[in-house]
Amino acid sequence: MWRWVTLLGILAAPAAAQDISYSDAGTLSCLNRAGASGAQERCIGISSGSCMSATPMGGTTIGMSECLNRELTFWDVRLNAMYRELRAQERREDASGGTPKGAPRQADLLRDMQRAWITFRDRTCDYERAQWGGGTGGGPAYTNCLMVQTAKQTIYLEQAMGYN
């Protein structure tokens, strides 16, 4: 009997994911309104929160995880694009002699910082998940942590580029 329940649960998961009502629009609108005001962090979680409210079963572990994961993807794509752009800019700056002689190369420091940040993010979110003692809330808590940390790093890199 448990095999059928497990099998039904596995087969139902993709169907539940298809019923997710997610859009990046709320976060994008908030970011546009925030502009250079320094209020961009207030935009973190808007789209996933709207998704949880608008999605049937959005308050379940699966629903929350799916909504959070979609906003995490939004921030992750944005982060990677910003990192590539900033790293290219720093490489040009380093190559042009804009960095004083003997000073550390900015592109290398950016790479090292980003690598250290990934470790920080992962350990922070592992700790966040551990706070749930192995309970089902640990999954959404972990994904939420990844989303928040990724969004904050994205905003940091955008500020370094002078975008906000």
* pLDDT per residue as tens digits for the range 75-116: 999 999 999 999 999 999 888 876 677 788 899 999 999 999
For the chain, how far is it from start to end, CA to CA, in angstroms? Answer: 56
Residue 135 structural domain: 68-164
Q: Is 143 exposed, middle or buried (0-12, 13-18, 19+ CB in 10 A)?
A: buried
Exposure of 23 in the CB half-sphere (CA atoms within 13 A): 9
Q: Looking at residue 163, what is its pLDDT?
A: 75
Residue 52 counted as domain residue = no
The CATH number covering residue 74 comes to 1.20.1270
Indicate whether 4 belongs to any domain. Answer: no
Say if CB 47 and CB 23 are below 8 A apart.
yes
- 58 located within any domain: no
Residue 159 lies in a domain: yes
pLDDT digits (tens, 9 = 90+) for 50-80: 999 999 999 999 999 999 999 999 999 999 9
- The domain tally of the chain equals 1
Q: Which two structure tokens, joined as six digits, stand for 108?
A: 């290398």
The pTM of this model reads: 0.85
